[in-house]
A and B are shown apart, each in its own frame.
Chain A
Amino acid sequence: MSKLSERITIFTGNIGSGKTELAINYALRLKQEHDRVGIVDLDIVNPYFRTRVFRDYLEQNGLKVVAPAGELAGADVPALPAAILGILEDEGIKGVFDVGGDDIGATALGRFKPLLPEGSYGMFFVVNTCRPFTRTVEGIMQVLKAVEKASRLKVTGLVSNTNLGSGTDIATIETGHNIVTEAASRLNVPVTFMAVRNELAAELAQRFPQENLFPLNLHVLPPWLRG
Chain B
Amino acid sequence: MAKILMKGNEAIGEGAVRAGCRYFFGYPITPQSELPHYLAKRMPEVGGTYLQSESETAAANMVFGAAGAGARVMTSSSGPGISLMQEGISYIAGAELPCVIVNMIRGGPGLGNIAPAQSDYFQAVKGGGHGDYRLICLAPASVQEIIDLMQDAFDLADKYRNPVMLLADGVLGQMMEPVELGEEKEITVPDRPWAATGRKKGGPKRLINSLYIVPEECEKHNLKLGEKYAIIAREEQRWEEYRLDDAKMVVVAFGTCARICKAAVDSARAEGMAVGLIRPITVWPFPNDVFAGVKETANNFLVVEMNMGQMIEDVRLAVSDARPVHFYGRVGGMLPVARDVLNEIRKLYDGGAAK
Instruction: Say yes or no for B175: interface residue by CB 8 A criterion.
Output: yes
CA A15 to CA B333, docked complex, whole Å: 23
B5 touches A164 (CB 8 A): yes
CA A122 to CA B312, docked complex, whole Å: 53
Closest-by-CB residue of B relative to A128 is B5
- Count class of interface residues, chain B: 20 to 34
CA A46 to CA B171, docked complex, whole Å: 12
B114 touches A47 (CB 8 A): yes
What are 28 inter-chain pairs, A to B, with CB distance below 8 A? A15-B7, A15-B34, A15-B37, A16-B7, A47-B114, A47-B170, A48-B115, A48-B174, A49-B174, A74-B113, A76-B114, A130-B4, A130-B178, A132-B4, A132-B10, A132-B38, A133-B41, A135-B4, A163-B5, A164-B3, A164-B4, A165-B178, A172-B2, A175-B2, A223-B256, A224-B259, A224-B260, A224-B263
**Residues of B contacting A46 in the complex (Cβ-Cβ under 8 angstroms):** 174
From DSSP, what is the main secondary structure of chain B's interface residues? Answer: mixed
Instruction: Say yes or no for A131: interface residue by CB 8 A criterion.
Output: yes
**Residues of B contacting A74 in the complex (Cβ-Cβ under 8 angstroms):** 113-115, 333
A224 touches B5 (CB 8 A): no
B174 touches A76 (CB 8 A): no
**Contact of A166 (CB < 8 Å), options: B41, B174, B178, B260:** B178
Tell me the A155-175 residues at the B interface (CB within 8 Å): 163-167, 172, 175
A47 touches B30 (CB 8 A): yes
**Residues of A contacting B262 in the complex (Cβ-Cβ under 8 angstroms):** 224
Chain B residues in the interface with A (C-beta under 8 A): 2-7, 10, 14, 30-31, 34, 37-38, 41, 113-116, 170-171, 174-178, 256, 259-260, 262-263, 333, 335, 337-338
**Residues of A contacting B178 in the complex (Cβ-Cβ under 8 angstroms):** 130, 164-167
Instruction: Say yes or no for A222: interface residue by CB 8 A criterion.
Output: yes
B260 touches A223 (CB 8 A): yes
**Residues of B contacting A102 in the complex (Cβ-Cβ under 8 angstroms):** 37
B256 touches A48 (CB 8 A): no
Closest-by-CB residue of A relative to B3 is A164
Closest-by-CB residue of B relative to A225 is B263
- Shortest CB-to-CB span from A145 to chain B, Å, is 15
Question: Assuming A133-B41, A165-B178, A224-B259, is B5 touching A48 (CB within 8 A)?
Answer: no
A7-19 interface mask toward B, CB cutoff 8 Å, 1 = contact, 0 = none?
A: 0000000011000
A165 touches B171 (CB 8 A): no
A127-163 interface mask toward B, CB cutoff 8 Å, 1 = contact, 0 = none?
A: 0101111010000000000000000000000000001
CA A48 to CA B115, docked complex, whole Å: 8
A167 touches B3 (CB 8 A): yes
- Shortest CB-to-CB span from A191 to chain B, Å, is 20
- Count class of interface residues, chain A: 20 to 34
B171 touches A223 (CB 8 A): yes
Question: Assuming A16-B7, A76-B30, A130-B4, is B175 touching A222 (CB within 8 A)?
Answer: yes
**Residues of A contacting B335 in the complex (Cβ-Cβ under 8 angstroms):** 223
**Residues of B contacting A226 in the complex (Cβ-Cβ under 8 angstroms):** 337
- Supplied contacts A74-B113, A76-B30, A132-B10, 17 more A-B pairs, CB within 8 Å: A46-B174, A48-B170, A49-B174, A76-B114, A130-B3, A132-B38, A164-B5, A165-B176, A165-B177, A166-B178, A172-B2, A222-B171, A222-B175, A223-B171, A223-B256, A223-B260, A224-B260
B41 touches A16 (CB 8 A): no
A49 touches B5 (CB 8 A): no
CA A90 to CA B182, docked complex, whole Å: 51
**Residues of B contacting A16 in the complex (Cβ-Cβ under 8 angstroms):** 5, 7, 10, 176
**Residues of B contacting A47 in the complex (Cβ-Cβ under 8 angstroms):** 30-31, 114, 170, 174
**Residues of B contacting A163 in the complex (Cβ-Cβ under 8 angstroms):** 5
A49 touches B3 (CB 8 A): no
CA A74 to CA B10, docked complex, whole Å: 22
B31 touches A48 (CB 8 A): yes
Question: Assuming A48-B171, A76-B30, is B5 touching A165 (CB within 8 A)?
Answer: yes
**Residues of A contacting B34 in the complex (Cβ-Cβ under 8 angstroms):** 15
Closest-by-CB residue of B relative to A133 is B41
Q: A74, A166, A222, A226: which has the most chain B beta carbons within 10 Å?
A: A222
CA A172 to CA B3, docked complex, whole Å: 9
**Residues of A contacting B256 in the complex (Cβ-Cβ under 8 angstroms):** 223
Closest-by-CB residue of B relative to A162 is B5
- Shortest CB-to-CB span from A44 to chain B, Å, is 11
**Residues of A contacting B37 in the complex (Cβ-Cβ under 8 angstroms):** 15, 102, 104
**Residues of A contacting B170 in the complex (Cβ-Cβ under 8 angstroms):** 47-48
**Residues of B contacting A48 in the complex (Cβ-Cβ under 8 angstroms):** 31, 115-116, 170-171, 174-175
A40-80 interface mask toward B, CB cutoff 8 Å, 1 = contact, 0 = none?
A: 00000011110000000000000000000000001010000
**Residues of A contacting B116 in the complex (Cβ-Cβ under 8 angstroms):** 48
**Residues of A contacting B337 in the complex (Cβ-Cβ under 8 angstroms):** 223, 226
